[in-house]
Amino acid sequence: MSEKIQLSDHFTYKKLLRFTFPTIVMMIFTSIYGVVDGIFVSNFAGKTAFAAINIVIPYTMLFGTLGIMVGTGGTALISMTLGTGDHKRANYIFSQLVYGSILAGIFCTILGIALLRPASILMGAEGAMIDLCVDYGLYTLPAMTAFILQNEFQSFCSAAEKPGLGLGLTVAAGITNILLDALFVGLFHWGLTGAALATALSQCVGGLVPLIYFSRPNPTPLRLCRPKWEAMVFVRTCTNGSSELMSNISLSIVSILYNLQLMNLVGEDGVAAYGVIMYVNFIFIAVFLGYSIGAAPVVGYHYGAGNHSELKNLLRKGLTIIGVLSVTLTAVAIALSGPLCGIFVGYDASLFDMTKWAFILYSASFLFCGFNIFGSSFFTALNNGLISALISFLRTMIFQTACVLILPIFWELDGVWVSIIVAELLALVLTVICFIKNKDRYHYA
């Protein structure tokens, strides 16, 4: 049996990869079972329903980002508190964040349903797509509390020194989604409604099961208890996690802009092509996200413990790992562009050709985005939400928005696809500057 890895350990490449591997697999699996919805809807319900699901998903994700913010920001705070040796306070913080998120999830469900139809129209839905967007939202939004918790526990499990638990929960949720997609969409032919039901039920598995686990005695440092409600816990968590919040909100807004541009340029085929790219892109980005999320509690712990030599070690090894992954994933994405796109739209030759070419162009962004994701996550782990948010906000909201609005003027459709490459390159320059300017403050270089 392999030795248990603790946050306080010195991390070699092998130990760092062992510790982050479950989170990487967890994020990949999360992406894959999200992709299943798209595959079933596209092949069994057609490209109009597929375009509709890609219009409404950014809207539902806007609410789900709350869990990502609390999970990443809260994990940084909990890990730092564990690093100081105050386990009791770490549990107070953990419990306050979980219970507070449940209340926020209920509010998000009510607000999301109330604004669903006008939001769908605003995001570019037309004709029959409007009702399809509303149907999808009406079945997924009631599970928003569970979705928020699922996003949180993906990070909290690493802080609890149980990244394998997070992986197991994600696998269970993913298998649930895949099986229900096959049943509801493939066998019963319920179309978009069936895909929405499958997603909602799988989110309940991913969010409610860990809630039960941490409410009972368990072998981890974390357990739900009666919290001491402190406003500053929410403030510090939201500040720490604001980068992840802004990143995901910005991505949702940018996705809406992409869809509007593509509707104007080539109609629903363009939206469908972009939808394929987003689904496939999530799988590759998940590797960077998984490593960054998995390593963050380690960084936060050693920052809290004042162990500067280990911070240097973690940064150096992290950048090396991200560099290798960047080159590898870019090559794999280009090589597999045909088969991956064919899974979604192989039934339509012209749509397939457009999608494949778009994804080949888009894949070049993998050379740069991993460093930006890791940099933002590293500063979150250092409890510097301001710098982390700056990287994420400029990377997604400013750079991508500007590129997707400006580049199509010169290159039309190709301008849409290369926007991400230019935006990530600009963000990389910013990330490097942030690392250099703060090296003396945090002693990681």
User: In angstroms, rounded to a whole number, what is the distance separating the alpha carbons of residues 250 and 282?
Assistant: 15
Q: What is the pLDDT of residues 21-68, one digit of tens each?
A: 988 987 888 787 768 778 888 888 888 888 888 889 888 988 988 998
Instruction: Classify 226 as helix, strand or coil.
Output: coil
Domain ranges of the chain: 13-442
Its pTM stands at 0.77
pLDDT at 2: 55
The yes-or-no verdict on residue 99 having pLDDT over 50 is yes
User: Where does residue 334 fall: left (phi above 0), alpha (psi -120 to 50 degrees), or beta otherwise?
Assistant: alpha
Give the per-residue pLDDT at 3: 67
1: pLDDT strictly greater than 60: no
Please state the rounded mean pLDDT for residues 148-155.
91
**Across 80-105, average pLDDT:** 93
C-alpha distance from residue 388 to each of 142, 270, 372 (Å): 31, 33, 10
| Residues 44, 341 contacting (CB under 8 angstroms) | no
- What integer pLDDT is reported at residue 23 of this predicted model? 84
Among residues 82, 92, 94, the alpha carbon closest in space to that of 304 is found at 82
Cα distance between residue 130 and residue 118, in whole Å: 9
Instruction: Compute the average pLDDT of residues 1-21.
Output: 83
Sign of CA dihedral 392, 114, 278, 264: negative
Contacts of 349 (CB under 8 A, 6+ apart): none
User: Do 321 and 13 touch, CB atoms closer than 8 A?
Assistant: yes
Exposed/middle/buried for residue 225 (C-beta within 10 Å: 0-12, 13-18, 19+): middle
Tokens representing 66 are 């709350």
Nearest of 61, 164, 166, 59 to residue 121 by alpha carbon: 59
What is the C-alpha to C-alpha distance for residues 374 and 72, in angstroms, rounded to an integer? 13
pLDDT at 98 over 60: yes
Token pair listed for 197: 């039901």
Of 2-11, 206-215, 234-243, minimum mean pLDDT range: 2-11
Which stretch of 167-171, 243-247, 318-322, 347-351 has the lowest confidence by average pLDDT?
Answer: 243-247
